[in-house]
Amino acid sequence: MLDPAGEATRAAAARLGVSGVQRLRIGKAIQVDLEAADRATAEAQLQLLSDRLLANPVIEDWSLELSDAG
């Protein structure tokens, strides 16, 4: 994936004197608190939201981490 903001930031880091940056990627992090009947329902709903609403699959990769709030 292209990441022009990440590339520009890597160059700016070197100008700030931090020369050891090998790689710098800027992405989005989305935190969702979701009430659902069970874990499978929650996962299906989050897959739907990620595909249809949260990510643009043409230009973005995404991954999902699920944790139980109890």
Which residue from 1, 2, 4, 20 is in contact with a second copy, where contact means CB under 8 A? 20
Our finding on whether 13 is near a second copy (CB under 8 A) is yes
What own/partner pairs with CB < 8 Å and gap ≥ 24 does 35-41 have? 39/66, 39/68
Rounded CA gap, 42 and 29, in Å? 18
Our finding on whether 49 is near a second copy (CB under 8 A) is yes
Our finding on whether 27 is near a second copy (CB under 8 A) is yes
Angle, alpha carbons 53-57-61 (nearest 5°):
105
User: Which residues of this protein are in contact with a second copy, per CB under 8 A?
Assistant: 6, 9, 12-13, 16, 18, 20-36, 42, 45, 48-49, 52-54
